[in-house]
Structure 1
Amino acid sequence: MLQQIVAHTPIHVWLLLAFLAWRGIAASRDGEVPLRRLAVLPVVMLVLSLQDMAGRFGLHGLPLVLWLAGAGIGMLAAWRITSPAAPGSAPGMVLQRGSWLPLALIMAIFAAKYTVAVLCTVRPELATQTGFACATCALYGVFNGLFAGRALRCLPLPRALRTAVSR
């Protein structure tokens, strides 16, 4: 059965996985990064999650509320576990410490989305079950919050605001 699942996976899914893995590996190295590039991965992951949620469960009701709650929890966790970026050599640039966290998150969200897609293909009635929709959306929210929180942590915030948020 696993062979059938992999064989029927569209090629664009594997291309997307390759792109996301490349971005995750690139994030493992220290480097000077333009602020606008910090948003690329969180935005890509946000679009993928919202697209999947809209197509499977709709963007309303309890699943959306749980996605928002998960995103908030993920953002707070990311703020706590990641270190702030240092200013870069030019305006609009930051020195971002390398981390394997983005790659781990990318692989986890890809595995979650792939699993949800397979489950909903094999058992279509799952998409109509509130518990499945809520758990899936909450998980997607946590992942999206972790990505967004890590990116926000790199913004050059005033010291007073950074201290207030860290409490």
Structure 2
Amino acid sequence: MDNQPGSITLDPNANVMSYRALMDAAALADRRQQPDTAKRWRTQAQQLKTAWQQANQKGFPSFTNGLWPSGIAVSDTTAMTQVLQQQWDESTEATGTFKQTPPNLQAAIAQAHQWLFLQQPDRVWTTLKWFWQNQASPGLYTWGENPDQSGGMPMPKSFSQWQRLRGWVNPPHIT
């Protein structure tokens, strides 16, 4: 977001979820019968949405949560569809099956959520069928994960040290 005064300069996904949080805060203020507070939260959410849309005119980096759960891209589903279609064309065969294992399994599932909101159930079912057919432990909904997917960023250290109780630090599967 170019370090503009008054704007959040975290990654685009943080801005997307901040928008959702502001909209939820406005809804809560409405329920508490505080219209001025609700209006303030909606105004801030709209400002964030406008800045986010301007910063993302040439691309849509938050395609994994633009419609769900954030709703920030609801007003521009055409752009969302174009970006998702490009991703789909690059990662799948003509039959709809993945050319190779998606590098980020969570992103693939998140894209399926977006396709659902774009009323493209065929894409959702194709993705889900691939996941069901490629389980590391069939029936346990467990998938292997690419250990390099973190993008070179070190994994955060746990403050609670829960991994000592579980007996492992870096699980090989996602459940």
Q: What TM-score does the superposition give when structure 1 sets the normalisation length?
A: 0.25
- Which one has the largest radius of gyration? 2
TM-score between the two structures when normalised by the length of structure 2: 0.24
| More helix by percentage | 1
